[in-house]
Structure 1
Amino acid sequence: MSNRPLASAGRAVPLLRAGLIAGIVVAAALYPLVAVTGIGAKATAHAVEQKTNILKTALPAETSYVYAPDGKTVLTMFYEEYRQYTKIENMSPNIQQAIVAAEDNRFYQHHGVDPKGVARAFVSNARSGGVSQGASTLTMQYVRMALRDSATTPREVQEATQQTSLRKVKEMRMALDIEKHLSKDQILERYLNSAYFGHRAYGIYAASQIFFSKTPATLTPVEAATLAGLVKSPSEYDPITSDQKDATGRRNYVLANMARLGYLSPDAAAAAKGQPIRLKLTTPPNDCAAIDGGHRSWGFYCDYLKNWWSAQPAFGENRLERMDKLRRGGYRIVLALDPKTQAAAEKNVGAKDNTGSPFANGIVVAEPGTGRIKAMAVNRTYSLDLADNPNSSNPEAGPKVKANYPNTVAPLLGGGSLPGYQAGSTFKMFPMLAALNAGMPLSTAYDSPYTYKSAVYDGWAPSNASGAMTGRQTMWSGFGKSVNTYFIQLEEKIGADAGVRLAEQLGLRWRTDVDKEQASPAKAKKWGAFTLGVSDATPLEMANAYAAIAADGRYCEAIPVNAIMNRDGTPATYSTAGGVQREIAKPRCRQVVNADAARAATDAARCPTGDTPAKGSCGGWSTADSVRGTVGRPVAGKTGTTDSTRSAWFVGYTPELAAASFIADPDNPFNAVGDGQSQIPVNAVAQTLRDALKGQPTRQFTPPSDQIVG
């Protein structure tokens, strides 16, 4: 009798265990609702519901692709997580089956939370005294990944990943709800596009590319099982860096499960297990320094794209948000660069000075009427590797600062934070254009002595470059010979601030403290030296400003793209002040000066190039009279040099293209280029325009009216 209770108790243990498991199974199904209610916070339940609604439509971060102008050739990508979203119908059934076999055998039986899995994990963990087995279904794992991907603050990231009971409760609740709104195929598609496989491969497309250099549609059972096995622990089962023993073991586990679930025959699974893991690795390019394939020099253009993108309000409130969009938004970006024009620019810049010169010789080519930048080239190699660069020759930079040659990623051509270079007499265009737009005729004449003392500018007395510039000048001859004292008098007449404000309307920005102060409303009227080009400017700004003159006074913002498509294939748009949706990649243009004034400025600007104006006389000689013969078609433009020829410029244009070239030492502005090299930008522009336009019909400039000629 005394032994019976003990015997009864012994027989009761299995029943007790069975009862506990049954209770756990029931509790598992009810736990999300009960626990949330028990926690009691209606706000918590509301937050879960809100998150669930977000996850129903949320898509993971996706790689943005940059294409050549053909819209087909991929030049580079931008990503934090290398991923290309792939529809499930474009995935091999092998990978769909392998991921179920690897992560959730009962995926097609449960409704988001698997009671049997919870019970099994509870028993296993109780026996081991720790966490030896989890109970997360594919749906729950997808919820966790989606919460992480949709997080916008550090706190949200922490909440999505922290190991707490509350997080698990929310995860289970959301999984149950998600399964009411998404089909199993939709959940599987999202899971396979979200999962991390190691080596910066996010999603099955990236994993297929990086490990096997193929698309998900062509994955074999062996390849699919290898990739599916990585999700549990990408580093532990990594077949690239390990001896593949663990990776092979994990793969074979997945293959065995595929056979057990009926996805593979026992013989096929056995044959697959006997195969070695054969990788065919691909390293996807990322950012501008990764551009190659014969297009490495396009890195400077790519860098301009990045800087332009970071300044577009359509992509976010600040630079950080905008760059995040670029790296996560899945855009398809087609560059506006023209390969023929780019090749011409590279050839004609590279021929003037090699990459090992401290003097940077660069050129930018813009398209009048659209603002699209067709070429950017400089005698530098676009590279992050500065190890072999010499130390800067600028004493102010310090001995440990590397110069920017032969390698650099500095925005030497514009579009970034660098102020540019003093542009010299190319700035004479701005007061002349302002005067013409105000109604002054091209025939406006002044006696131009060698030195002129200005009463307006407090006795300032600038001089001409030579005595041959003295005498009575008009806009034609004054511009053609670059007569300083003529333009000081013209500037006095219209006000220096008129030229400053017009330059701003044509896209110029003041970046140095000195330029900002001089251009301020309080001082612009007295900035007499403005017309002599004492301000810094970039070739990007100057090419696009002169392009507006070629386009009859219609200024278009500089833009590096022909098209920007969202991940769904629709054009990326922005909302105007009036609420109208416009494509971001479309030209944004406005009339800055009247067409007749622009045509008159072009007529005067034909004089510096050795071309013949339609209406007036150039006065016998010009500063760049070889340009017309080199280009072989109507051309206008202006030379520019600074004191001691520390920099030299030429900006030239035809009706089709406008180009600005400079030569200067970006590391040391006191390192003078010298008169002997001042012809380099002239030749670079003339030869680039010639080569870029070869084979195209010759277009003529529209002459100005007789009224503005005077």
Structure 2
Amino acid sequence: MALRDSAANAEEVIDATEQTNTRKLREVRIAIALEKRLSKEAILERYLNAAYFGHRAYGAFAASQIYFSKEPKDLTLAEAATLAGLVKAPSDYDPASNDGTDAKIRRDYVLGEMANLDLITPEESVAAQAEPVQLNVYEPPNDCISVAPEINNWAYFCDFFKGWWIKQEAFGANPQERMDDLRRGGYQITTSLDPNLQTMAIDRVMEKEKVSSHFAHGVVVVQPGTGLVKAMAVNRVYSVDQSANGKSSDPSSTRPGSYPNTVAPLLGGGDLPGYQAGSTFKYFTLMAALDAGMPMTTSFHAPQQYTSIYVAEPGPAVCGGRWCPVNASAGMTGTHNMWTGFGKSVNTYFVQLEQAVGADKAVKMAERLGLQWRTDVDKYHADPVRSAGWGPFTLGVADTSPLEMANAYAVAAADGIYCEPLPVVSIRSPDRGEIPAANPRCHREVSQDVARNATDAARCVTGYGAAGGDCGDWSTGSRVLPIVGRPVAGKTGTTDDTRAAWFIGFTPQLAAASFIADPDTPFNPTGDGNAWKPITTVSELLRDGLANEPVAYFAYP
């Protein structure tokens, strides 16, 4: 996987990482075939010309320019070793995002190994290790960093667009060739970004959480049925200059915080794992159960605490070696079906529903709807060999991004049609005409009935009410309907200790996902007082963004 382009979807991630004999044999065959055509040095050269070095630098040439403002041939030994050390974990060793301590430790390790391999002398290694990590960060022109200050918040969409572009084979054989083609190809590109909606999005976000906050509050809006990304906003300034940033909320870290300036893809579409999304993941269990033919009336008695079938390590939510989750309040105790279980977000109902359909089916549904597993822990549990035992999955313990979640919920809004997230409406080449890469990539992922029933359950959350059943006397997102003022569905979500709070809301025309979390310290509680912010941000954005659009109604299941 490392010597190939980044995966474009969850299926590719699994295909490239699952521990099977078939995959190992395939990789051996590929390696043998490559070595017959290319030397090891040539293979390494090709890899380094496409590898990710952080700060959206793909390839050693781009990394050399961005970190040191010079070409690779002009790098000192210490500078070259710094770049070589980045490839393993660009975010962890990024010398531009902290005081350089981690980058220096990694660089010195590289220099030591070079001496051990007789690539340099011990004296050269010692001399280079004595040098501090000195950067001369270059902000490339015509890049996302250079977006005009008055529309700097557009830069996160620009970053998503670049990440999408470098995966498109129509523009070159590798990421560097594709970026060169973007800069020199003379393309006329119409993006999917809606300037008015984007302005509304950044205004709504900034009203609730300023750039001076260590909490990141963001929102992504997607059009159901096309995958067009209409807005991406977060309370940050897009810049590599972190010299004036606030202190990291992690007391053990020497790095500055990610506020107000960062180029980290906090909204998705990049290399960051994201944030746990809590009860919004119940959507995947709901979809999996409906897809398996289970009716909306499927009922379970949901006690305050439930002892599940899932084996768990000792901990506060473990009873006799089994995972035993609890509900958010004792008032949820009782018999529930899919309408009331989803509308009231009853944990012990959804654990039983997950048991009935199979946790592996819920995990697979998330993958079918576009989620990728980016952390080692999530990849381990999502492995098909183990996913049937991943009981906590339904309560949102995996990391994700607002881009992924908005797009996943858009499937329900689009009557079961899944579309890849798309940042462009059209791309026209001076010599090739319209480029097909800009066309929506959509297919039916679940049946119309499955999608409409899932939407009916999600209508209970917002207070809009279900068409096919009784939502009960209250819901977790009852404030949504009075704000939006038109048919709306969605799901609230908070994690343990409110480390992150989410809301995903949708109408037939738009799907929006908002979150609040601490990207510097994911386990830092945001506080119960912040849980309303994603709900209100999405609700206001759907209201204002659709103000001039006709009211659209959900189809009955």
CA distance in 2, matches of 1:510, 1:635: 29
Matched, 1:377 2:224: no
Match of 1:446 in 2: 300
Matched, 1:616 2:463: no
Contact 1:346 1:378 in 2 (8 A): yes
Q: Can you list the C-alpha shifts for 1:506-541, whole angstroms capped at 9, x where unaligned?
A: 110000000000000111000000000000000000
What aligned pairs does 1:55-454 form with structure 2 within 5 A after superposition? 286-292=142-148, 294-396=150-252, 398-399=253-254, 401-454=255-308
Contact 2:310 2:390 in 1 (8 A): no
Q: Offset of 1:346 from its aligned partner?
A: 1.1
Match of 1:522 in 2: 385
Contact 1:383 1:407 in 2 (8 A): yes
Q: Offset of 1:670 from its aligned partner?
A: 2.3
Matched, 1:544 2:407: yes
Contact 2:498 2:525 in 1 (8 A): yes
Contact 2:410 2:511 in 1 (8 A): yes
Match of 2:503 in 1: 650
Corresponding letter in the other structure for 2:364: R
Q: Can you list the C-alpha shifts for 1:630-686, whole angstroms capped at 9, x where unaligned?
A: 000000000111111000000000000000000001011122101110111000100
Q: Offset of 1:619 from its aligned partner?
A: 1.3
Match of 1:660 in 2: 513
CA distance in 1, matches of 2:266, 2:239: 13
What aligned pairs does 1:676-691 form with structure 2 within 5 A after superposition? 676-691=529-544
Q: Offset of 1:429 from its aligned partner?
A: 0.3
Q: Identity rate of aligned residues, in percent?
A: 57
Contact 2:223 2:509 in 1 (8 A): yes
Q: Offset of 1:319 from its aligned partner?
A: 2.4
CA distance in 2, matches of 1:288, 1:502: 34
TM-score (norm 2): 0.72
Corresponding letter in the other structure for 2:306: Y
Match of 1:579 in 2: none
Corresponding letter in the other structure for 2:233: A
CA distance in 2, matches of 1:466, 1:318: 52
Q: Offset of 1:383 from its aligned partner?
A: 2.0
Match of 2:52 in 1: none
Contact 1:390 1:403 in 2 (8 A): yes
Match of 2:453 in 1: 600
Q: Can you list the C-alpha shifts for 1:118-155, whole angstroms capped at 9, x where unaligned?
A: xxxxxxxxxxxxxxxxxxxxxxxxxxxxxxxxxxxx9x
Contact 1:285 1:291 in 2 (8 A): no
Corresponding letter in the other structure for 1:584: A
Match of 1:512 in 2: 375
Structure 2 SS opposite 1:294: helix
Contact 2:427 2:434 in 1 (8 A): yes
Q: Offset of 1:318 from its aligned partner?
A: 2.9
Corresponding letter in the other structure for 2:416: G
Corresponding letter in the other structure for 2:495: T
Q: Offset of 1:295 from its aligned partner?
A: 1.9
Contact 1:363 1:378 in 2 (8 A): yes
The higher relative CO (CA closer than 8 Å, separation ≥ 6) is in 2
Q: Offset of 1:320 from its aligned partner?
A: 2.6
Corresponding letter in the other structure for 2:359: A
Match of 2:419 in 1: 556
Q: Can you list the C-alpha shifts for 1:682-702, whole angstroms capped at 9, x where unaligned?
A: 001000000100021101000
Radius of gyration: which is bigger? 1
- Residue in structure 2 matching 1:492, options 337, 355, 359: 355
Matched, 1:703 2:556: yes
Distance 1:456 1:403, change over 3 A: closer
Q: Offset of 1:569 from its aligned partner?
A: 6.3
CA distance in 2, matches of 1:551, 1:677: 30
Q: Offset of 1:293 from its aligned partner?
A: 6.7
Corresponding letter in the other structure for 1:317: A
Q: Offset of 1:498 from its aligned partner?
A: 0.6
Corresponding letter in the other structure for 1:434: A
CA distance in 1, matches of 2:535, 2:149: 31
Match of 1:165 in 2: none
Quick check: 303-312 or 523-532, which moved more? 303-312
Runs of at least 4 residues off by over 4 Å: none
Q: Offset of 1:434 from its aligned partner?
A: 1.0
CA distance in 1, matches of 2:150, 2:310: 55
Q: What is the number of equivalent residue pairs in this alignment?
A: 413
